[in-house]
Amino acid sequence: MKPMKTLAVVGTLLAATFLTTISSEARTLRWARSGDALTLDPHGQNEGPTTALGQHIYEALTERDHTGKLGPSLATSWGVVPGDPTTWEFKIRPDVRFHNGATLTADDVVFSYERAMQPTSDFKGYLSSVESVTKVDNLTVRIKTKGPNPLLVNSTTSIYIMNKAWAEANNATKAQDFKSKEENFAVRNAMGTGPFTLVSREADVRTVMRRNEAYWAKSSVPLEVSELVFVPIKADATRVAALLSGEVDFVQDVPVQDIERLKGAPNMRITSGAENRTIFFGMDVASADLKGDNVQGKNPFADKRVRQAMNMAINRTAIQRIVMRGESVPTGVIMPPFVNGWTKELDAAPPTDVARARALLAEAGYPQGFSTTLHCPNDRYVNDEGICQAAVGMFGQIGIRVNLVSQSKSIHFTLIQKNPPETEFFLVGWGVPTYDSDYIFSFMYHSRQGSRGSWNATGYADKDVDAMIQSLSQEIDIPKRDATIAKLWAKLKDETIYLPIHHQALSYAMKSNLDIPVDVANSPKLKMVSFKGS
Amino acid sequence: MLAYVVRSIMQGLIVMLAVAFIAFSMFRFVGDPVVNMLGQEATLQDRAELTERLGLNDPVPLQFGRFLMNAVQFDFGISYRQGRKVSSLIAERLPATVELAVLSAIFALVIGIGLGVFAAIRRDSWLAHVVMTVSLIGVSLPTFLIGIGLIYIFAVELRWLPSFGRGETVKIGWWSTGLLTTSGLKSLIMPVVTLGFLQLTLIMRLVRSEMLEVMRSDFVRFARARGVSERNIEFRHALRNTMIPVITIAGLQLGGVIAFAIVTETVFQWPGLGALFVNAVQFVDIPVMSAYLFFVAAVFVLTSLMVDMIYLALDPRLKSGPGAK
């Protein structure tokens, strides 16, 4: 009996050692944020949480790191074909395998780009300049654009590459058509080359992924997480509680009011940083008369002095300190700091000066001020409604009586996007996925024509500005292009079409054995996670 | 009898139609789904095209007609938010909500009746006073506060129970249940208590006052005079007579609990129908919203139909329709 027992003990001990060695290898990261990805389809929804989850399974030709710097991913090199400014050539990384073992080839790339350009894709906007995508050989792809496009490579970070044969076999060659009666296979299934493979997905409950042991970049990234579990937790208090109770390891969308408390909690780490998103007010600068004001026959916003007065009335540091609890960076330009064209001078906001603002208003013919209506979202940006409430008080100080209407984003953005817009004064936030000023100019300052100006609800339309903006997408001489960008910003900042407030800041909360830096696109790359100590 | 049932069903159908139509004409005020369905790069033309493709430009009565035509075939279309069939979304979420609702109804009934009886029989004991005071808190505290308070105590401080989700579930056919795993059962405790607390206090107060009423009635006095034991009077005679109104109220409230577990489901990230609906409203996911409201109307119609049937069983006078003796 005795030897048996010893044997059993030895066996248990052996098993225990064995288990511990495995468990140091097997590490689960449980990741929570407020909303779930809408779909796994790589071209279905161009929406933050969707692409943030998608990037762990799918990859693009290029990728940006957490600071926004562009680098190679599935493409090893790229460039404009010498002598043909309308054609880009991409060399595809050899020996990359999809999760089903198939090797990545030019066919998959061509297929994915064509899929992303179809009407049901939500990514066709990134590729509107593309005429065709063709295979040169197994590892070379050429993208032909309608005119010279010096920035095409910036769009490639967003176009995920999927396995052609898999999509064809599963009848998923197009992104979900919402008019169809059937669900697209790619909505809940995925076949990419990314660092994690999909194990299971229950929408709004959890998505489980396992480390891709055959990942092509395994030697250059930590990839210490062996199992990645993504759980959406909608209620702020519950999300924070789940972190405090140890049920999740890493939380995005930390409510600003909880940051201080979490900093004080044991074994917690908070990382913060600026997000690629600027928050600002816009107003109707073009209509002859406003409907929502008390001035007859005139549009006060059309007068630059009024806009400058309002810009001076905003106390940005007070908003940062009180509304945002320090989690923002006040600014004087509607461009996040990572964007090509950003300078410190542009970023400087006018100092708050109520007396001078009043004088400017009087000069413009409104010594008594006027009244107007401000539209604000209440569920889109960090404390968006609070920003508007604070600003209403500040405008009141210079005699502009603002009636605040705050509503859900699905109503708010409709007002801006309607043609003509149904708001004369509004709050909006803007991120720049291409990291180039052209993106801001095209959507926010160009007059509403064709594919440009879709977010320009101000009515601002200047022929010279339009022409300069259009030249940006054709100019391949980079210094010359940058000079045009600088010229545009100088003019537009002086025009004060928008009233910038701040760059939104982000905070992530996690257990202290993790150190996940804030990603400027709010799309944390969890293949980069390495566990410390413990 | 048959005429009575048919009439109830007809009334129910009319109610469902009316609810569906009112809901449908409200959707335009919730916002524009196209805003959420397209990325920020979408052009004005893209938006116009999608709106047209989805048929959102059609007049409301036409959209409603199309919805009804499809609804009678149990086809509610594709969710704008998730790109999945609405009918399968609802089927997937139904078990979570039903388990939560039924358990919290049982919890409210059992504890509510127990405490109510206790508070009636020992109405002057200090414990009864404590129970009555606590029940006041239950009536006046909002559900989300109870939920967050429980999470703070039992998940964050004591770490006994999970703060969110359903835990592990087991599939039985298409039905997923959390009743067969430890983590599933643990996950149920706080949501069940949160959702059932208000019903519990209501039932308890109802039982107590009914019981006090019955204890004063003549037949109890006669029973006492006959020397029936106090325990027998309390549980065999008084309680039984108390139950009739209690069952009616509880039955009616079950429908409400299934339909409006929204707050509890949001607080606990419970993957049920309520959470599905909240997300749908924020996204303006019209197919899911309309299907859900249709479903809620059906639940209410069905429960009130069932209550009517119970009345029929309890009250023989209803069986013989008007005109009969």
A52-110 tens-digit pLDDT: 999 999 999 999 999 999 999 999 999 999 999 999 999 999 999 999 999 999 999 99
Quick check: B151 and A241 CB within 8 A? yes
- Look at the block and give the residue holding tokens 């579930």: B169
Q: Is the model's pLDDT at A352 over the cut of 60?
A: yes
φ, ψ for residue B41, nearest 5 deg? -80, -10
Name the residue in chain A with its Cα closest to that of B53: A179
| Mean pLDDT calculated for residue range A292-299 | 86
Q: Are B83 and A187 in contact (CB < 8 Å)? A: yes
Cβ pair B53:A122 closer than 8 A: no
For residue B85, the 8-state DSSP code is: B
* pLDDT of residue A8 exceeding 70: no
Name the minimum distance, in Å, from the CA of B257 to any CA of chain A: 20
SS3 A227: strand
Q: What is the pLDDT along chain B (325 residues), one digit of tens a residue?
A: 678 778 888 888 898 888 888 877 777 777 888 888 887 888 888 888 888 888 888 888 888 888 888 888 888 888 998 888 999 999 999 999 999 999 998 999 899 999 998 998 888 889 999 988 888 887 888 888 999 999 999 999 999 999 999 988 898 888 989 899 999 999 999 999 999 988 888 889 989 988 888 888 888 888 888 888 888 888 877 887 787 778 777 777 777 787 668 899 999 999 999 999 999 988 889 899 988 888 888 888 888 888 777 777 766 666 655 544 4
**Torsional class of B217: left (φ above 0), alpha (ψ -120 to 50), beta (otherwise):** beta
What stretches of chain B show up as alpha helix (H) in DSSP? 2-30, 33-37, 44-53, 60-71, 86-121, 126-140, 143-150, 182-215, 218-226, 230-232, 239-259, 262-267, 273-283, 286-314, 316-319
Separation CA B215–CA B225 (nearest Å)? 13
To test the contact with chain B by mutation, choose from A43, A188, A410, A449 the residue with the greatest count of B C-beta atoms within 10 A, namely A410
Distance in angstroms (rounded) separating the CA atoms of residues B278 and B133: 33
Averaged pLDDT score across all residues of chain A: 91
The secondary structure of chain A in percent helix, strand, coil, rounded to multiples of 5, reads 35, 25, 45
What's the pTM? 0.87
User: Between chains, do B49 and A45 touch, taking CB under 8 Å as contact?
Assistant: no
- Residue with the bigger pLDDT between B60 and A498: it is A498
Give the up-direction half-sphere exposure of residue B65: CA atoms within 13 A in the CB hemisphere: 5
Q: Is A427 helix (H, G, I), strand (E, B) or coil?
A: strand
Interchain pair A410, B283: CB under 8 A? yes
The C-alpha of B319 sits at a distance from chain A's nearest C-alpha, in angstroms, of: 46
Query: What's the Cα-to-Cα distance from A425 to each of A144, A286, A459, B1, B322, rounded to whole Å?
Result: 41, 12, 12, 63, 65
Interface mutation target, options B82, B89, B266, B288, chain A, most CBs of A under 10 Å: B82
ipTM, two decimals: 0.85
CB pairs under 8 A between A and B: 157
Q: Give the minimum alpha-carbon distance from B268 to chain A in angstroms, rounded to a whole number.
A: 7
Pick B162's closest partner by Cβ from A188, A206, A247: A247
Residue to substitute from A31, A36, A38, interface B, most B β-carbons within 10 A? A38
A168 versus B82: which is more confidently predicted? A168
Residue A19 banded pLDDT, cuts 50, 70, 90: very low
Burial A393-425 (b: 16+ CB within 10 A, else e): ebbeebbbebeebbbbbbbbbbbbbeeebebbb
Residue A519: helix, strand or coil by DSSP?
Answer: coil
Q: Which residues of A touch B29 (CB under 8 A)?
A: 411
Residue A259, helix vs strand vs coil? helix
User: Is residue B186 within 8 angstroms of chain A, CB to CB?
Assistant: no
Looking at residue B258, what is its pLDDT? Answer: 76
Confidence bin at A210 (pLDDT 50/70/90): very high
Across the interface, which of A203, A411, A417 has its CB nearest the CB of B47? A417
Is the Cβ pair B276, A202 closer than 8 Å? no
Cβ neighbours of residue A326 closer than 8 Å, sequence gap 6 or more? A320
pLDDT interval class at A438 (50, 70, 90): very high
- B84 and chain A: CB distance < 8 Å anywhere? yes
Alpha-carbon distance of A116 to B147, in angstroms, equals 44
B156/A206 touch (CB, cutoff 8 Å), yes or no:
no
Minimal-distance CA residue of chain A relative to B32: A410
Instruction: Tokens for B60, please give them.
Output: 């409301």
Is B282 in the A-facing interface, judged by CB distances under 8 Å? yes
- Dihedral angle, C-alpha A492, A493, A497, A500, nearest 10 °: 140
Inter-chain touch B163–A122, beta carbons under 8 Å: no
Is it the case that residue A534 has pLDDT exceeding 70?
no
C-beta of residue A89 within 8 angstroms of C-beta of residue A81: yes
Q: Compute the C-alpha angle B310/B315/B320, nearest 5°.
A: 105
DSSP code per residue over A91-144: EEPTT-B-TTSPBP-HHHHHHHHHHHTSTT-S-GGGGTTEEEEEEEETTEEEEE
Categorize the per-residue pLDDT at A509 as very low, low, confident or very high, splitting at 50, 70 and 90: very high
